[in-house]
Amino acid sequence: MLPVLMFGAIALSVLILRAGGPDLPFVLLGAVLVLALAWILISSLNPARADRTCPECGEEALERLDPATTRGVVCSRCGHTDRDVSSWYLAEEETTLEEIVLAERGRVSGLEPEKLARPTDSSPNTEITE
């Protein structure tokens, strides 16, 4: 089957070259590169947003089920609940994801997440040591 596909690809490319001339491959390559650059620019200038549309009632009312995770949504209008859907984009819009990710990583590994060490004394350290 592979030799037939290769022969077909060669025959198709010869037909395209005869129909479009010797400049056609360069035009096609340029079009593909422009399309790829446009895709990158559009994706970076228009980032993804959370879709808050409820699949049951169609209203823009989805909220995160649990503020401590990035899984599960609930509709504030009709009460539709889906515990398995990702609420990553919703969490990204509402809070910093670092704390949630560290807490989830600790739950998965069975370890407690690291607590940030904060000094108990808020006075500045004025002691000079040499």
In this structure, is residue 123 part of a structural domain?
no
Predicted local confidence at residue 5, as pLDDT: 96
- Residues contacting residue 119 through CB under 8 Å, at least 6 positions apart: none
In this structure, is residue 103 part of a structural domain?
yes
> With 0-12 CB in 10 A as exposed, 13-18 as middle and 19+ as buried, what is 62?
buried
For the cut 60, the answer to whether the pLDDT of residue 25 exceeds it is: yes
> How many independent structural domains does the chain possess?
1
In this structure, is residue 78 part of a structural domain?
yes
Predicted local confidence at residue 104, as pLDDT: 74
Please tell me which residue, 77 or 126, carries the higher pLDDT value.
Answer: 77
Predicted local confidence at residue 2, as pLDDT: 92
The tens digit of pLDDT for each residue in 43-57 reads 888 877 778 888 888
Q: Which domain holds residue 74?
A: 62-109
In this structure, is residue 34 part of a structural domain?
no
